[in-house]
Amino acid sequence: MIKKHLKIAVIGLGYVGLPLAKAFSKKRYVIGFDIQKERIQQLKLGIDKTLELTAKEIKSAKKLFLTGNRKYLNSVNCYIVTVPTPVNKSRKPDLKPLLKVSQMIGNVLKKNDIVIYESTVFPGCTEEKCVPILEKYSKLRFNKDFYCGYSPERNNPGDKKNKVINIKKITSGSDKKTASIVDNLYREIITAGTHKAPSIKVAEAAKVIENTQRDLNIAYMNELSNILDKLDIDFNEVLKAAKTKWNFLPFRPGLVGGHCIGIDPYYLIHKSKISGYNPKVISSARYLNDKMGNIIASRFVRKMKRKSILIKNSRILIMGLTFKENCPDLRNSGISRVVKNLEKKNCIIDLYDPLVTQKEIKKEYGKKSITKLINKKYDGIIIAVAHRCFKKIDIKAIIKLCKKNKVIFDLKSIFNKKYTDLTL
């Protein structure tokens, strides 16, 4: 099979799949498939709740056919899988979405078809977990009748500059011919170029360690922030001084969440443990970053007490609920731990995030967010996310939302620190 004969279906039209399908549709006809009927209906109307594409961008994709009907998958010979790979309550990999999609593809898989996985997994997952399901339901033999590739997603939700086409792409295949086909396919759309890994396992490992490395670096900064807080030393001044050395890495402390950095290390930890090695550094970093919500809430309460603000029934405004800036995704957001800890202290919490729908906030927090900010209402404010819309607000306008005696935490260091009680 040569590249021009590939007929593509992108399965899973979320933050990763939709921009990818759009990019491929500039070069060839693409089926964009998602099992969520509401998602398909919204996209056909030009509505992308992830905010990755505008209505104009969606409607201009003339070669993109959006559907939730599985019968259309029979017409393709290359399936690109972009479904989520979360963890369960025990922080173990939850492969249900990935394995269900593999079963669905297995039922339509034909001789010489290629299945390319983009979902972040542990090394070996594609060949050890997905391939047996493809074989079982297709009755075909791997690397004889059908082939696989792995090209991990490198999307950055909310980033309008670094899009899928200008981020270098790792590619791989289950044999040399397939690896070349997969690499050439992605070269059609990736202007930044590709890196062809020697095996699927190498590509899987490369992806999972990218986010694990970032998690470790942030954990180190969180640890330093906690130490310097105890020593009553301004972290930002320390960071400013340390940055004068040419090879110092200026990561910042903060809440770690979302469906990548806060999840992917658990996949590597899981695979490592079942292979007989207990990864202490990675596990410790995960533990610390997961606890940062509790620590920030404790710091906030401590600062309120120092200012003689009564904790019980104090009214706190949380500005920003998503896991990162300019993105409407609430999944695994670190701010939820801050909210829960403050509520345990009997604080009254107002939630505010213009990027997230009331329906999703109600589902996550059990109550709706406020839509209007009122002056002189709050004993404290936590600015948790650096949304563009928040940056446009003058810090003096935010101060006016508070009572005379107040605590303001600016977790993303958006504003001049002289106006706030804590920046991270």
CA atoms of 69 and 35, how far apart (whole Å): 8
Q: Is 260 a catalytic residue?
A: yes
Identified catalytic residue from 260, 327, 347, 402? 260
| Element of type H or E holding 144 | none
What does the block give as tokens for 320? Answer: 């920003």
First to last CA, the chain: 53
CA atoms of 420 and 415, how far apart (whole Å): 8
CA atoms of 41 and 248, how far apart (whole Å): 48
The contacts of residue 79 (CB under 8 Å, 6+ apart) are 8, 9, 11, 73, 105, 113, 114, 115, 116
Angle between helices 358-365 and 335-344 (to 10 degrees): 50
CA atoms of 288 and 224, how far apart (whole Å): 11
Contact 80, 9 (CB under 8 A): yes
DSSP codes joined into one string, 329-386 = --TT-THHHHHHHHHHTT-EEEEE-TTS-HHHHHHHHSSPPPSS--TT-EEEEEE---
Catalytic residue numbers read 260
